[in-house]
Homo-oligomer: A and B are copies of this chain.
Amino acid sequence: MAKKVFLTEDEIPRQWYNIQADMPTPLLPPLHPGTGQPVTPDLLTPIFPMSLIEQEVSQERWIDIPDEVMDAYTIWRPSPLYRAERFEKLLDAPVKIYFKNEGVSPAGSHKPNTAVPQAYYNKMAGVKRIATETGAGQWGSALAFAGKLFGIQIKVYMVKVSYEQKPYRRLMMMTWGADCVASPTNTTEAGRRILALDPNSPGSLGIAISEAVEDASGREDTNYSLGSVLNHVMLHQTVIGLEALKQMNKIGEYPDVVVGCAGGGSNFAGLAFPFIRDKIAGKKMQVIAAEPTSCPTMTRGPFAYDFGDTDKRTPLLAMHTLGHDFVPASIHAGGLRYHGMAPLVSQLVLDGLIEPRAYHNLDTFKAGVMWAQTEGFIPAPETNHAIAAVMEVARQAKEEGKEKTILFNWSGHGLVDLAAYDAYLGGKLTDHILPQEDIDRALAAIAAHPVPPKR
Contact = CB atoms under 8 A, between A and B. Distances in A.
A377 B105 CA distance: 8
A75 B375 contact: yes
Nearest to A171: B418
Which of A148, A373, A376 counts the most chain B CB atoms within 10 A? A376
Nearest to A82: B75
A143 to B, nearest CB: 13
B74 A4 contact: yes
Interface residue tally on A, bucketed by range: 35 or more
Nearest to A414: B175
A421 interface: yes
Interface string A1-19: 0111010111000000000
B6 A8 contact: yes
Interface in A142-186: 145, 148-149, 167-168, 171-172, 174-177
Nearest to A76: B376
A8 B4 CA distance: 8
A451 interface: no
A53 interface: no
B376 A145 contact: yes
A108 B108 CA distance: 12
Contacts of A419: 171
Interface in A359-409: 369, 372-373, 375-378
Task: State how many copies of this chain the complex holds.
Answer: 2
Determine chain A's interface SS by DSSP, over half rule: helix
Contacts of A418: 167-168, 171-172, 175, 416
Contacts of A104: 104
A221 interface: no
Contacts of A421: 171, 174-175
Contact of A172 (B75, B145, B378): B378
A91 interface: no
A422 interface: yes
A372 to B, nearest CB: 5
A180 to B, nearest CB: 12
Contacts of A415: 108, 168, 172, 415-416
A425 interface: yes
A106 interface: yes
A378 B74 contact: no
Contacts of A106: 372, 375-378
A199 B52 CA distance: 61
Given A168-B416, A172-B378, A415-B415, 14 more contacts: A2-B9, A3-B9, A6-B6, A75-B375, A106-B377, A171-B421, A171-B422, A172-B415, A174-B425, A175-B378, A175-B425, A176-B372, A415-B416, A416-B418
Q: Which 6 A-B pairs have the closest CB atoms?
A: A106-B376, A171-B418, A6-B6, A168-B418, A75-B376, A106-B377
26 contacts: A2-B8, A2-B9, A2-B10, A6-B6, A75-B376, A104-B104, A105-B376, A106-B375, A106-B378, A145-B376, A148-B373, A167-B418, A168-B168, A168-B418, A171-B419, A171-B422, A172-B378, A175-B369, A175-B372, A175-B373, A176-B372, A176-B373, A177-B373, A415-B415, A415-B416, A416-B418
